[in-house]
Amino acid sequence: MSRRILIAGNWKMNKTSAEGAELVNGIRSALTDCCADKLPEVLVCPPFLDIATAVCAAKGSAVEVGAQNVHWASSGAYTGECSTAMLLDAGCTHVIVGHSERRQYFGETDATVNKRAKAAVDAGLVAVVCVGETLEERESGATTKVVGRQVREAFSGFSANDMSKVVVAYEPVWAIGTGKVATDEQAQEVHAFIRKTLGEMFGSECGDSVRILYGGSMKPGNAAGLLKQKDIDGGLIGGASLKADDFVAIIKAAMA
């Protein structure tokens, strides 16, 4: 089963619109000399307010644009939220759901992750659904218990067909923004476990076809080793996605 590599940038709360456009321009111009059929899928996820200019800057290139969150309702009194229709209208193809920072600081739960991801998929967006254990959970031996629960609850009520619009991102919380990357083996082990869990839920064909990204201090220097792992199908990159040179170096590592 061949799964196309996806290199996704999560800008978090960084960049004004002008800075975001400059970053997209830097990425697209660095990719012009790359052979199109060797390129991985390339995605940037700016803050909501930067999406329109990023879409404009990416037009006609291989760079796709996604959001960092979405609400499940189609409209209504949900201050601070955006709907799937708004994201599609702005030109988004993807949306990150359930990032650990949302879970940690904004009360995101497995149940709300499930609702957001389902709404995204139903609307035709690709949902990049994040899971991952904290340091305390890893050290107490609870990694597979926690990640297994997050996966089962995030995709509860999904069909195998829904899963064709899903990408999972394994992001160990202890590796996010800390410079402490999971080793290739640690990451591969959890990726294989997530794939097995998806296989149990939706059948092995579906388990084999869903892409699973690694996230957490992925950088130009460690990307190649991680991306070589059998069950690692790309990266969700925070810090290193904010500089065109670093992000492009990771994209090139995926092409090697």
User: Which helix H or strand E contains 123, and what residues bound it?
Assistant: helix 110-123
Contact 12, 241 (CB under 8 A): no
Minimal distance, residue 36 CB to ligand PGA, in Å: 26
Minimal distance, residue 169 CB to ligand PGA, in Å: 7
Residue number with CB closer to ligand PGA (26 or 220): 220
Residue number with CB closer to ligand PGA (137 or 207): 137
Residue 191: active-site member: no
HSE-up (13 A, CA, CB side) for residue 1: 13
Contact 27, 252 (CB under 8 A): no
Minimal distance, residue 101 CB to ligand PGA, in Å: 7
CA pair distance 25, 191, nearest whole angstrom? 32
Question: What are 219's two structure tokens?
Answer: 């950088």
Minimal distance, residue 178 CB to ligand PGA, in Å: 7
- Please identify which of the residues 71, 94, 99, 191 carries the catalytic annotation: 99
CA pair distance 73, 68, nearest whole angstrom? 16
Residue 101: active-site member: no
SS3 label, residue 14: coil
**Phi-psi label, residue 168: left if phi above 0, alpha if psi -120 to 50, beta otherwise:** beta
Residue number with CB closer to ligand PGA (121 or 240): 240
Contact 133, 147 (CB under 8 A): yes
- Please identify which of the residues 108, 137, 171, 191 carries the catalytic annotation: 171
Residue number with CB closer to ligand PGA (92 or 250): 250
Residue number with CB closer to ligand PGA (198 or 223): 223
Residue nearest to ligand PGA (CB): 238
How far, CA to CA in Å, does 214 sit from each of 76, 107, 170, 232?
34, 23, 5, 6
Q: Give the list of residues 6+ apart from residue 255 with CB closer than 8 angstroms, or none.
A: 34, 38, 39, 40
Site residues (CB under 6 A) for ligand PGA?
10, 171, 176-177, 215-218, 236-240
Minimal distance, residue 99 CB to ligand PGA, in Å: 6
Residues labelled catalytic: 99, 171
